[in-house]
Amino acid sequence: MAQPFPYTYYSCDCYDSKVAAAPTKHASQGIPPAEDEDERDFDPRSPGANYSLYPLEHLLYCEDCQQIRCPRCVVEETLNWYCPSCLFEVPSSVVKTDGNRCTRNCYNCPVCSSPAVVTTLEDPFDPSSSGGPWLLLCTYCKWTSLEIGIEFEKHTGITAQLARLGNGGRTIPSHKEREKERERRLELDKHKSRDILSGSEDSPTTDKRDDGPPSHDDIYANLSAFYKSQLAAQQPSNPFSPHDINFSSPSSFSRIMNLYSSSTSKKQKREKPTPMREAASPLEGLTLHSPSTDTAIIDRLKTSGWSRTLSPAQKLAQMTPTVRFTSDLRPLASILCTKRGKRCRSCRHILSKPESKITSTRYKIKLLARNHIPRLSLRALHTSTSASASATAAAAAILPFNYDSLRPGLPIHFLLHISNPLFDPVRVTLATPSLTPGRVHTRVTILCPQFDVGANTDVWDDALSGSTDTAAGGLKRFSASGEGGAGRGTEGSGGAVEAGKIWERGRNWTSVVLEVVPGKDGKA
């Protein structure tokens, strides 16, 4: 379990607004985790409850709306970007062009996701001048970039080097080069087709593609270039066109103008551009299905087996979605993180705003729900009157209460502690279904369902008034274990579990006892 067992979740009001009669606060009842872990421990109300229950520390409070604001009823706005690995701030202008990834040497292992380091392959007996060649090494699973045939010449600027290096060590032409190459080939194709028409059959330049099937990126670039050229061809002479990506934006405008002037409309009709055509060659992004690629993949699967293929998580982490084999992996540049402020979704007031400096962990504004709503916590209560505990009292004093071993039918007492952050006393009324819903019917009784919790008055006022309550509270000590879990009262404060009485009360807190009788697993 991620949370130490008795934990408290708060339901945000946004859930109420959707589903009518939902309780506003749920304190987890002591239902033992069933064998079937998949059953949610807390009940089985709707699976949608998972989206509206939050630990207190995740809740904010909007003072204008006087409402709790959970992570879904806030709007987040990015304040700045940084790399989680090197902790450098990245200016917003380059975030997007870098693909939201760090361009320093922050790489993660594509196999296990842990950070990869740049290490040298240098032969200590034959050191090279640059100290290289270098490679990326995952210190966790020992994956190296050699497995995909990549070595670096320098230990800096890995991103730039990686952009030029394909798996297996071949160089990837840069974007510009590819563009040029495409132009050249298109031109060549044109010539070829002309040659065919003019009868000169001897067009020798059937330059074979050197690098197998084009990559996903290549196809995309080809397609994109093709569409752009087609669109440009459709608006050949547009005086309004600013001639670049926007080349054709005002075209409709000019057409509308043309419609109104009768003299040009005729001309317009004659010049009506042919609709753009389809891509016709691989250079334009057309890829015909070829059975041989399929067969090649199957053959590879057959020979290389399971270990060479990628798990779904590894695939999803890759930049290109088409990868299948370990040899296709690419090191993953770490994805940037953001510092975000939060605003209330309905009134737009700022609920939290961290200081913008990356290294700072402070907040300029932070409106926490815990300063506005009572805090509930639950823990097991051991008293000497508890029959089961007395036998092993000595052991129990050291060992934390084991929440996993609640036995069906054996009543256990839990202490529900409610503390009040407000400067006014609050009156609390508790209710619980006597039998918890779900598969395991546990009987829960609140021994004192209605009580007051004092105001969060000034500490010194309280101390000066010399309240005996606090003294009593101070007496009670628990031996905390490393688990941070529960402890056991070493000094019984004399309180017997009694219906209708609160267990203990302090300046701004009250605790009451719940009796829980774990039910039987309905299945067993």
Partner 1 sequence: MSSSAGGERKVSASLGRSVRGQTPRIQDLASTPESPRTPLRSTSQWFSSPGGSFRTEEEYVVLEVGSRFVRGGFPGQSAPLCILPFGPDEQRRLGDYRQWDPEYKMKRRKRKRGQEWGQEHELYRTDLSKLDLGLLEDKLERVMREAYNKYFLLDPKPRRILLALPPRMPHPLMSTILGVLFGSMQAPSITLLSSPILSTVAAGLRSALVVDIGWAETTVTGVYEYREVHEARSIRAGKMLSEEMAKLLNEELNEDVEPGDPKIEVSFEEAEEVLTRVGWCKSRPKSNRNTLYFPARTSPILEEFEDAVEVPEPTVAIPFPKNTPPTELIIAFASLAKPAEAALFAPQTALNEFDDHELPLHHLIYRALLSLPMDVRRICMSRIVITGGVSNLPGLKTRIIAELEAMVQQRGWDPVRSYGSAGARREAILRQQRENAELRREEGEDKVSESLDPDNPPAPPSAGFQSPEEDPIDLKLAHIALRNGPPPNAYVGGVIRGVETLGAWAGASLVAQLRIKGIVEIEREKFLQHGLLGASKDKEISVVPQRQSMGPGVGRGAGERASWTLGVWA
Partner 2 sequence: MSRPSARKAAPKGEYIETDSGNKVSRRSAITGTANITLGGRTVIMADVHLRGDLHPTRAAPSTSGKEPITTSISIGRCTVISTGSVIRPPSRISRGEVHYYPMKIGDNVFIGPHCTISAISISSHVHISHHVTIHPFAMIKENVKILPHAVIPANMVIPSGSVVGGQPARVVGEVGEGWGVGGGVSGGIGGGEKGGEKGWVEGGDLRELVRSVK
Positions in 100-129 near partner 2 (CB under 8 A): 112-115, 117
379 binds, among partner 2, partner 1, none (CB under 5 to 8 A by kind): partner 2
Span interacting with partner 1, options 135-143, 174-182, 240-248, 359-367, rule CB under 8 A: 240-248
Compute the least distance from the CB of residue 64 to partner 1, in Å: 19
**375 interacts with, out of partner 2, partner 1, none, CB within 5 to 8 A per kind:** partner 2
Token pair listed for 402: 């084991």
Q: Is 272 in the site for partner 1 (CB under 8 A)?
A: yes
Do 490 and 479 meet the contact criterion of CB atoms below 8 Å apart? yes
The residue behind tokens 């919790």 is 453
Among candidates 500, 474, 466, 480, which has minimal Cα distance to 401?
Answer: 480
- Identify the residue whose tokens are 């045939």: 149
- Cβ neighbours, 10 Å, residue 154: 14
Q: Which is it for the CA torsion 329, 330, 334, 335, positive or negative?
A: negative
207 binds partner 1 (CB under 8 A): no
Structure tokens belonging to residue 61: 């409070």
Strands 25-27 and 53-54: unpaired
Does residue number 416 form part of the binding site for partner 2 (CB under 8 A)?
yes
Rg (CA), the chain: 35
Q: What are phi and psi for residue 199, nearest 5 degrees?
A: 90, -10
| Contact between 226 and partner 1 per CB under 8 A | yes
Size of the site for partner 1 (CB under 8 A): 111
Which C-beta is closer to partner 2: that of 279 or that of 399?
Answer: 399
Crossing angle, helix 175-197 and helix 216-234, to 10 degrees?
Answer: 60
| CB nearer partner 1, residue 325 or residue 478 | 325
Segment holding 65, helix H or strand E: none
Nearer of residues 1 and 499 to partner 1, judged by Cβ: 1
Nearest to 486 by CA among 400, 374, 364: 400
| Contacted by 50, from partner 1, partner 2, none: CB < 5 to 8 Å by type | partner 1
| Options 291, 474, 482, 494; binder of partner 1; rule CB under 8 A | 291
Of these, 53, 150, 283, 369, which contacts partner 2 (CB under 8 A)?
369
407 binds partner 1 (CB under 8 A): no
Half-sphere exposure of residue 320: CA atoms within 13 angstroms, side-chain side = 14
Instruction: Choose the stretch contacting partner 1; rule: CB under 8 A; options: 90-98, 114-122, 152-160, 364-372.
Output: 90-98
Does position 244 interact with partner 2 (CB under 8 A)? The reply is no
Contacts of 309 (CB under 8 A, 6+ apart): 301, 324, 325, 326
User: Could you give the 3-state DSSP secondary structure of residue 273?
Assistant: coil
Stretch binding partner 1 (CB under 8 A), from 96-104, 393-401, 407-415, 514-522: 96-104
Q: Which is nearer to partner 2, 111 or 440 (CB)?
A: 111
Q: Specify the residue, 382 or 441, whose C-beta has the smaller distance to partner 2.
A: 382
Residue 288 interacting with partner 1 (CB under 8 A):
yes
Q: Does the footprint of partner 1 cover residue 183 (CB under 8 A)?
A: no
Q: Which does 9 bind (CB under 5 to 8 A by kind): partner 1, partner 2, none?
A: partner 1
Helix (H, G, I), strand (E, B) or coil at 177: helix
Q: Identify which range of 80-88, 180-188, 290-298, 392-400 contacts partner 2 by CB under 8 A.
A: 80-88
Per-residue 3-state assignment (H helix, E strand, C coil) for 392-435:
CHHHHHHCCCCHHHCCCCCCEEEEEEEECCCCCCEEEECCCCCE
Residue 243 interacts with partner 1 (CB under 8 A): yes or no:
no
Q: Give the Cβ contact number of residue 18 at 10 Å.
A: 11
Burial group, residue 229, by CB count within 10 angstroms (0-12, 13-18, 19+): middle
What's the closest the beta carbon of residue 331 comes to partner 1, in angstroms?
Answer: 16
User: Looking up tokens 């050197």, which residue turns up?
Assistant: 210
Q: Is 200 helix (H, G, I), strand (E, B) or coil?
A: coil
Which of 141, 259, 393, 496 binds partner 1 (CB under 8 A)? It is 259
- How do strand 107-108 and strand 115-120 relate by DSSP bridges? antiparallel
Candidate residues 234, 445, 457, 467; the one interacting with partner 1 per rule CB under 8 A? 234
Q: Can you tell me which of 30, 331, 374, 487 binds partner 2, judged by CB under 8 A?
A: 487
Q: Are strands 134-138 and 363-366 parallel, antiparallel or unpaired?
A: unpaired
Residue 510 contact, options partner 2, partner 1, none, Cβ 5-8 Å cut-off depending on partner type: partner 2
Q: Does 470 bind partner 2 (CB under 8 A)?
A: yes
Residue 87's identity, in one-letter code, is L
Binding site for partner 2 (CB under 8 A): 2, 54-60, 82, 84-87, 112-115, 117, 138-141, 337, 342, 352, 361, 363, 366, 368-370, 375, 377, 379, 381, 415-417, 419, 421, 459-460, 462-463, 470-471, 473-474, 476-480, 482-484, 487, 503-506, 509-511
